[in-house]
């Protein structure tokens, strides 16, 4: 199928793979004049490409800090977890993987990881996974990732419908505060239970239905989030903020790093953008 031309002066534009000459031209221009104003950049640099195409080429291929080479098992593991948390929010996921682009992660997921995860789930189904068995008692999260050394935290025994009700994530504001994302879970009307930030903006679908044990397993495995989580167990709603897991965790040596360690630099944490507040 022939692709429909879409850019400005569409029929005068080059399309398809970029030549080495075009790459060189774009690279030189961006190094001198910087990124942005892509349409203008394209004209000024003398590239017969639309602005959009220039931007994409730069961001996905030419930008100097792009990491080349295979995705490591650590990166793969992180992608799987983040995808479980965020869904197809490729740019958010890429934001937690320095040097990787959203396009690369999306392609990697679609061509390889999705099948791998589906295969793993199918295997779990075959051996008769019982969803009522607390997964943390077997030191596995729901992705089947083994937890090699740490015994389960007392609060991480998972009731069947335990939900994440409050999460504090590193903020993206300039004063290094934590954004409080909250939701109250109405068991009679689950669809009305949307996570909200302190401006009462909904974060539909971000935390709702998210399995708290996966979130916490991610925390304690590698401390990639500097966040706090509150949980609600049906029939026992913890109104008191003192039940924040971080407070109870830090009393135990196993979890002492949970709150303080940061896998990413502060700068990267600040850059983390959670869906449109």
Partner DNA sequence: AACGGGTGCAACCGCAAACGA
Partner DNA sequence: TTCGTTTGCGGTTGCACCCGT
In contact, 83 and 93? CB cutoff 8 Å: yes
- Contact status: 92 vs DNA (CB under 7 A): yes
Q: Which range binds DNA by CB under 7 A, 82-90, 130-138, 153-161, 184-192?
A: 82-90
Q: Which range binds DNA by CB under 7 A, 6-14, 165-173, 209-217, 240-248?
A: 6-14
Q: Largest Cα–Cα distance in the chain? A: 67
Please tell me the distance from the alpha carbon of residue 236 to that of residue 239, in angstroms, as a whole number.
9
- Contact status: 63 vs DNA (CB under 7 A): no
Q: Which helix (H) or strand (E) holds 143?
A: none
- Contact status: 164 vs DNA (CB under 7 A): no
Q: Which of 25, 26, 55, 259 is the binder for DNA (CB under 7 A)?
A: 55
- Contact status: 100 vs DNA (CB under 7 A): no
- Contact status: 64 vs DNA (CB under 7 A): no
The residues, any chain, with a CB within 8 Å of residue 128's CB and separated by 6 or more, are none
Please tell me the distance from the alpha carbon of residue 9 to that of residue 52, in angstroms, as a whole number.
13
Provide, for the chain, the percentages of residues in helix, strand and coil under a 3-state DSSP scheme, each rounded to the nearest 5: 45, 10, 45
- Contact status: 56 vs DNA (CB under 7 A): yes
Nearest distance from C-beta of residue 5 to DNA, angstroms: 5
Q: Which of 27, 39, 172, 250 is the binder for DNA (CB under 7 A)?
A: 39
Please tell me the distance from the alpha carbon of residue 99 to that of residue 117, in angstroms, as a whole number.
23
Q: Which range binds DNA by CB under 7 A, 53-61, 126-134, 139-147, 185-193?
A: 53-61
- Contact status: 7 vs DNA (CB under 7 A): yes
Q: Which of 77, 108, 233, 250 is the binder for DNA (CB under 7 A)?
A: 108
- Contact status: 16 vs DNA (CB under 7 A): yes
Of the candidates 147, 150, 156, the residue with the CA atom closest to the CA atom of residue 211: 156
Q: Which of 9, 91, 138, 265 is the binder for DNA (CB under 7 A)?
A: 91
- Contact status: 268 vs DNA (CB under 7 A): no
Please tell me the distance from the alpha carbon of residue 108 to that of residue 105, in angstroms, as a whole number.
5
The residues, any chain, with a CB within 8 Å of residue 97's CB and separated by 6 or more, are 75, 78, 79, 105
Six token digits for residue 155: 């609060």
Q: Which range binds DNA by CB under 7 A, 32-40, 125-133, 155-163, 182-190?
A: 32-40
Q: Where does this chain bind DNA (CB under 7 A)?
A: 1-7, 14-18, 36-40, 49, 51-53, 55-57, 60-61, 88-92, 102-104, 106-108, 110-112, 276
């Amino acid at each position: 199928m022939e692709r429909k031309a879409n850019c400005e002066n569409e029929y005068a534009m080059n399309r398809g793979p970029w030549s080495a000459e075009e790459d060189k031209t774009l690279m030189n221009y961006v190094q001198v004049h910087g990124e942005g104003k892509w349409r203008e950049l394209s004209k000024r640099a003398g590239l017969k490409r639309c602005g959009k195409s220039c931007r994409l080429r730069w961001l996905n291929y030419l930008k100097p800090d792009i990491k080349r080479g295979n995705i490591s098992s650590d990166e793969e593991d992180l992608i799987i977890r983040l995808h479980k948390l965020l869904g197809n929010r490729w740019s958010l996921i890429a934001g937690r993987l320095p040097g990787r682009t959203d396009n690369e992660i999306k392609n990697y997921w679609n061509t390889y990881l999705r099948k791998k995860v589906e295969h793993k789930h199918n295997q779990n189904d075959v051996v008769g996974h019982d969803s009522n068995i607390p997964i943390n008692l077997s030191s596995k999260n729901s992705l089947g990732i083994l937890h090699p050394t740490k015994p389960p935290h007392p609060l991480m025994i998972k009731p069947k419908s335990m939900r994440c009700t409050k999460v504090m994530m590193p903020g993206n504001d300039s004063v290094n505060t934590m954004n409080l994302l909250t939701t109250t879970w109405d068991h009679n009307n689950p669809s009305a239970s949307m996570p909200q930030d302190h401006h009462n903006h909904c974060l539909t679908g971000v935390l709702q239905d998210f399995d708290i044990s996966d979130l916490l397993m991610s925390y304690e495995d590698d401390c990639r989030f500097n966040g706090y989580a509150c949980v609600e167990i049906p029939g026992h709603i913890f109104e008191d903020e003192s039940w924040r897991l971080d407070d109870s965790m830090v009393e135990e040596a196993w979890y002492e790093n949970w709150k303080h360690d940061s896998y990413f630099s502060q700068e990267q944490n600040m850059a983390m953008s959670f869906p449109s507040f």
